[in-house]
Chains A and B, each alone.
Chain A
């Protein structure tokens, strides 16, 4: 009887049990589908038609052209004219306008000298997304048409790989990592802790099964599930949201495989700490929230404080996001991603070592 026979015995048992657990089967398919539909259709980082109030103190032909140009971007919707700064603030306060633009009387001089901001943009700070709009507005090269270079280009937005700026294009690859994190960590952690809770583990560890066989046998089916989920997400992304994979599929799957293994090792480690499924679930959530919030899925990675960036380096999702974005959006090759691959591998090795060290064939 080879070493692998025992491993496969465990894996086969796991698959059989899973196949009888209809709810879990449902979750394997349901979580990615629902999340993708939810995020794909509901979350929209594109901001269009923002209601705006303009206080034009210059009242020159240039300032009027400026206002028309701003309207032409479609980012701004209805543009109201405000008679005074107070009226402008009131419009924002009442919510009639989300963005206020103040064009100072000396607009021409400011543009000519280029030392002071040509205009002021007031943003309703209660809506974070609008700040991005404001940032975007400053980058709109409308002032060039005034015949001189723009005085201020504080933020430069590059839209090279997602020219249409469609959220779905960013969401689909990012969601792939988030969903894999959710299911892989929780599934493995609870699958092992469940056996501990039910007393199965006490029996299993009195058999000749080795720790390696036990762990590998338990993880193997979940690797397959992870690949199925990856496929599902990519397929749905392709058909529903028209997100093609620019790079090679094999690169994508290899990257996903490494990430799945890293996530599973995290679940495994959690399972060696938790005594009950409830504890395992809580620990999984503790690792998941930072993964979702700090990996660059929600907020741009570069915008986070340094400490947060360091912490994010410890999360496998951060690196996988880089990998999958690179392959799906930029058509990068896996070999271009070696720093991320190395970090993921390091994470996997450390987690597996810790898990195997902690998991003894004993009860104490």
Chain B
């Protein structure tokens, strides 16, 4: 397995603010690698450092075998970048935008025509070809942006929250397109704050306040979660919550419909028994059951339950 991107001790400060606090990263080739994290966790800053838009405060980056930012210009010919915001030109048509990007990437006329025809067909843009980009819907814009970012057949695609303004069906289609690109050998790094998207990635890094809280394949992350996940069903959830407040070991409670999802420390001896004991006086019919962890549990365990996060929360 070859590595497309590797970073060591990568950090970026903006004045006193530490956006990225020194991360190590290895992104394998021809896979989809996800950055999962809340806003402000350093996803965009990291991506911008990887494509040479920002100079790291510390650390080294190698992208496709080239040191960045030193060889950023060489890397730029091989990578496609989709910014968080739609950044093609609203006042140009779909066709004109693609034509322009093709020229900017230096594609010869015949090749440019061929690639544009291919992308327009692949990404369902034919009926909008003459339409101004500013009038497209969110999903159509994303397809156009992806078409533009892949015109030069990049080896690496950097996608910064590509689906944040897109409806669920368009998101599904968008991911189908990404898998098709991966099948053709493209490496994709995508940042997201959607759990379902993170789940689709081959590998995942969970970012939290500028560092990687957890990293690995989504399935493995869920299996190896540093917590025991327990679901509680009970008629009176308000009473149940009050009862659970007396259990200090509980690390997080979230409500899903008429159930409560509780994270307990992984090492606890009999977490179900402990919770049941606490619930019985208030809610005798409560059902307590250990379940397998979802990626959301992993995310919560990785971000909210890290020591410094816990302190911060208590302070708040």
Contact = CB atoms under 8 A, between A and B. Distances in A.
Interface stretch (B2-10, B74-82, B187-195, B266-274): B74-82
Contact of A202 (B69, B83, B89): B83
A20 B91 contact: yes
A200 B53 contact: no
A21 interface: yes
A1 B87 contact: no
A32 B270 CA distance: 84
Contacts of B104: 6, 9-10, 204, 207-209
Contact of A5 (B52, B55, B96, B103): B103
A201 B92 CA distance: 15
A113 interface: no
Contacts of A148: none
B54 A206 contact: no
Contacts of B85: 199
A206 B76 contact: yes
A3 to B, nearest CB: 10
A9 B100 contact: yes
Given A203-B83, A203-B87, A1 B52 contact: no
Interface string A181-219: 000000000000000001110111111110000000000
Interface residues of A, number: 26
Contacts of A61: none
Nearest to B112: A1
Interface stretch (A116-124, A139-147, A336-344, A356-364): A356-364
Contacts of B88: 200, 203
Nearest to B148: A203
A335 interface: no
Contacts of A207: 76, 101, 104-105
Interface in B1-60: 48, 51-55
Given A1-B106, A9-B104, A199-B85, A362 B53 contact: yes
Contact of A208 (B77, B86, B90): B77
Contacts of A361: 52-53, 72
B313 interface: no
A218 to B, nearest CB: 13
B172 to A, nearest CB: 25
B73 interface: yes
A86 interface: no
A362 B52 contact: yes
Contacts of B55: 362, 364
A5 B108 CA distance: 10
A90 to B, nearest CB: 65
A339 to B, nearest CB: 41
Given A6-B104, A6-B106, A209-B104, A200 B89 contact: yes
A364 B108 CA distance: 33
A16 interface: yes
Given A1-B106, A5-B106, A20-B91, A13 B100 contact: yes
B91 A363 contact: no
Interface in A145-200: 198-200
A306 B204 CA distance: 68
A9 B54 contact: no
A1 B108 contact: yes
Contacts of B53: 202, 205-206, 361-363
7 contacts: A5-B106, A13-B92, A200-B87, A203-B81, A206-B81, A207-B101, A207-B104
10 nearest CB pairs, A to B = A9-B103, A199-B87, A203-B87, A1-B106, A206-B81, A199-B85, A363-B53, A207-B104, A13-B100, A208-B77
Given A206-B79, A206-B81, A362-B55, 20 more contacts: A1-B107, A5-B103, A6-B104, A9-B100, A9-B104, A16-B96, A20-B91, A198-B90, A199-B86, A200-B87, A202-B53, A203-B87, A203-B88, A207-B104, A362-B53, A362-B54, A362-B69, A363-B53, A363-B54, A364-B54
Interface of A: 1, 5-6, 9-10, 12-13, 16-17, 20-21, 198-200, 202-209, 361-364
